[in-house]
Structure 1
Amino acid sequence: MNTASHPAAAQRLSMTQVLLCGAAIVTLSMGIRHGFGLWLGPITTERGWTRETFAFALAVQNLAWGAAGPFAGALADRFGAFKVLIAGSLLYALGLVLMGLSTTGLAFTGSAGLLLGMAQSGTTYAVVYGVIGRQVDPAKRSWAMGVAAAAGSFGQFLMVPVENGLINGVHLPALGIAIEGAGWQHALFYLGCLALAIIPLAAGLKEPDAGPRSASHQSLGQALREAFGYPSFRWLMAGYFVCGFQVVFIGVHMPSYLKDHGLSPSVATTALALIGLFNVFGTYAAGTLGQRLAKRHILSTIYALRSVAIIIFLNVPLTPMSVYVFSAVMGVLWLSTVPPTNAVVAQIFGVQYLSMLGGFVFFSHQIGSFLGVWLGGKLYDSTGSYDVVWWIAVALGIFAAIANLPVKESAIPRGAPAAA
């Protein structure tokens, strides 16, 4: 059986401390990135770029995030999450500032794409979940991961209106409030300063035990061969690919899709905020249910319901109310795949290399994200519509619902053939 062990109770960090600091970090790191779609219009208009230029940079961001994830996770497993989080925070701030200063598509791809992608790999789920996996009792692990994922959702609910206010200002005549916005460029500078707040929060995830974290003494190479030789790991990666395609396509291109159909920017802002708000409940529920139900069934249900929601959305009249209902439904399903997916990885392989293995699963997610955001811009520029990409998202959701069904959740037997 899986012999991965946890730190002794006396050596563990307080669960409350881990969850508070981890949740705050994810709130900032995920919250900032969830609003990037709000910059598509103003940046492309001022710079004279096509939507594909902007979309390609964010596609590179997602790919860089995924590619750097296993390395950030391996470093966190080896040297602790604290140092990785500090480096990620500094990169995040630098990337946001350079994103605002970029005047060419290549420079924008380097800042908004490569730098921010690498920054996110060191400040989001893989690194934080590694600490949760090692420091939280297994009986509460899925729930704790749901809390952290819910924090990322709350970050979207909180940060999207904040970012819109930084760009465009806040105007509430009924309350006598009229605050001018800083503009898209200065808004990025302010967010860069905010990203530095991750550094003091990282201190709460500094693990006390720097020694070996597993009784199995499994090497990194052995862990990789075992994981990639195990069919369930590959099925999880396939499902997560679809998750990335769907959520990033919707998150980045939804504002422009609604604008093309004559809806005001405030509808798009509200829609993204609703996704974040309802995802708080969805991710928490997924983490809690993961303690009681088969996680593969939870994942299959989530992907199937996403496809159903998109089909209905595309076939009803497009009004602010239909957008809000769709956003609420998608919000419940948005990041609710995160807790059960990562909990299954920990359950199968143990926690010694959880950050690294979670990073590889997330790399698959980010390949999907790359295709979702890039194809959204590419096919829009070539067809003048997002319709093809919407229906690709539906088909992929059905595939992911089927792909998660054969996943085996029991701990892998050490020393037995990987596919046994």
Structure 2
Amino acid sequence: MSIAQDHRKTLLYMIIASALILGLSLGVRHGFALYLTPMSAEFHWGHQVFSLAIAMQNLIWGFVQPFTGALADRFGTRIVVAVGGVLYTLGLILVAFSSSSWLLNLSLGIILGLALSATSFSVLLSAVGRAVAPEKRSMAMGIASAAGSFGQFIMLPTTLLLIQHYGWSAALLISAVLIALIVPLSLWIRENGQAKPITASSPPLQFSSVLKIAAKHASFWWLAAGFFVCGFQVVFLGVHLPSYLIDHGFDATTGTVFLALVGLFNIVGTYGAGWLGDRYSKTRLLMLIYGLRGIAFVAFLLLPLTVYSVYAFGVVMGILWLSTVPLTNGLVAQMFGVRYLSMLSGIVFLTHQVGSFLGGWLGGLNHDVTGNYNTIWMFSIALSVFGVLVHLMVKEQAVIHDN
């Protein structure tokens, strides 16, 4: 087998492994919203208890992501993902036996937050990004991202059926068995040939030096501010829309189908965004996505609330859901190269997770205080406008030439 054929085979295995890991990791994670109602009812919790644990998970995930990314850049993606798979499995087992708020925060919040930092986009898409040529990078990231969406489409109805037939605790234990598959799948992630070789003309920079360069680059922080919007909106909808629908007389199935449609059509959105990102301005595409999200929110709230309007909203939001991810990571690679991509993508992702924390927690707090989600809906619409405006400030030129 020639070197070129061996590289293509390695790349194929890496994309397949990354796709399957993202599908499992994000598929199970998106199903967490379905546990809010049964666990809150059994233990007589308000919405805020479960929402705080989810919010803590997103915040922990975000704060440790730069460090997890730095470990992956230095020691390799494979070992980081494998450790994340073990933590994810243990965390789900603990959630299954969580009967108090402190144990729920420890398991669902802290342990799963750590696990997700090692088994989700920043680490895996960075590995894929290092393995492909710059002109095909956005599309490759889009393909891997789309797999995570397919996992959501499959796991959401599966999780609902497991909860309905076996109870929420058994459903979590079955999910833990599935997540354990991440460990053997991590062996498919080959480190050889990913990163650009270090040569005398291309000496490696210290991580502190890379951070200083990024800190002085205004576009990097504008991009991070835009990702805050994405995190707030998707976690608010992912955690609280099923509850919002129950408040308006719909059953749990309607919310599950909504989230499944989001996962299904996000396959189209992430792949399409990756394809377009290789051909058109990534910042303009991001402005379009955030603008369309705001329009979709307004239309959903103004139109009569029916099963059909809910499902149509799911289709539209699915296309716009995580289509920001390959574009945002692609911009980081375009600005700073791929050698430090896991760490720098992790820093941008931190702002996404701060938004996720607020979207998850404030949604539950707003509901407990007022009995509705009106304030958070309005804030989500305002954030769409903010998301459009900040990307006007992002410049796409390279800062570190290491592609």
Q: CA offset at residue 266 of structure 1? A: 1.2
Moved >3 Å (runs of 4+): 7-13, 209-214
Q: CA offset at residue 350 of structure 1? A: 0.5
> One-letter code of the match for 2:252?
P
Q: Structure 2 residue aligned with 1:358, among 341, 345, 354?
A: 345
Match of 1:238 in 2: 225
Q: CA offset at residue 17 of structure 1? A: 1.4
Contact 1:13 1:135 in 2 (8 A): no
CA distance in 1: counterparts of 2:333 and 2:21, whole angstroms: 21
Match of 1:75 in 2: 71
Q: Structure 1 residue aligned with 2:188, among 193, 204, 212?
A: 204
Q: Structure 1 residue aligned with 2:19, among 23, 30, 36?
A: 23
1:94 aligns with 2:94: no
Match of 2:179 in 1: 195
> One-letter code of the match for 1:203?
L
CA distance in 1: counterparts of 2:5 and 2:378, whole angstroms: 49
Q: CA offset at residue 216 of structure 1? A: 3.5
Q: CA offset at residue 28 of structure 1? A: 0.5
Contact 1:79 1:210 in 2 (8 A): no
How does the TM-score come out when normalised to structure 1? 0.92
Q: Assess, with a 3 A threshold, how the Cα gap between structure 1 residues 13 and 407 changes in structure 2: closer, same or farther.
A: farther
- 2:323 alignment partner, SS class: coil
Match of 1:4 in 2: none
Q: Compare the two structures and name the one with the higher helix fraction.
A: 2
Q: CA offset at residue 14 of structure 1? A: 2.5
> One-letter code of the match for 1:286?
A
Q: CA offset at residue 211 of structure 1? A: 8.8
Q: Structure 2 residue aligned with 1:45, among 41, 45, 53?
A: 41
Match of 1:386 in 2: 373
In structure 1, stretches of 5+ residues that fail to align are 1-6, 169-180, 415-420
CA distance in 2: counterparts of 1:35 and 1:272, whole angstroms: 9
CA distance in 1: counterparts of 2:111 and 2:269, whole angstroms: 30
> One-letter code of the match for 1:227?
A
Contact 2:131 2:195 in 1 (8 A): no
After superposition, give the CA deviation of every residue in 1:243-296 in whole Å (9 maximum; x if it has no partner).
000000000001100000001111111101000011100110000000100000
Fraction of identical pairs, as percent: 48
Q: CA offset at residue 339 of structure 1? A: 0.4
Q: CA offset at residue 392 of structure 1? A: 0.3
Q: Assess, with a 3 A threshold, how the Cα gap between structure 1 residues 338 and 210 changes in structure 2: closer, same or farther.
A: closer
Q: Assess, with a 3 A threshold, how the Cα gap between structure 1 residues 369 and 210 changes in structure 2: closer, same or farther.
A: closer
> One-letter code of the match for 2:348?
V
1:134 aligns with 2:134: no
- 1:49 alignment partner, SS class: coil
Q: Assess, with a 3 A threshold, how the Cα gap between structure 1 residues 91 and 213 changes in structure 2: closer, same or farther.
A: farther
Contact 1:232 1:407 in 2 (8 A): yes
> One-letter code of the match for 2:383?
L
Match of 2:321 in 1: 334
Q: How does 1:258-407 map to 2 (within 5 A)?
A: 258-407=245-394
> One-letter code of the match for 2:117?
S
CA distance in 2: counterparts of 1:55 and 1:160, whole angstroms: 18
CA distance in 2: counterparts of 1:360 and 1:408, whole angstroms: 18
1:125 aligns with 2:121: yes
Matched length? 397
In structure 2, stretches of 5+ residues that fail to align are none
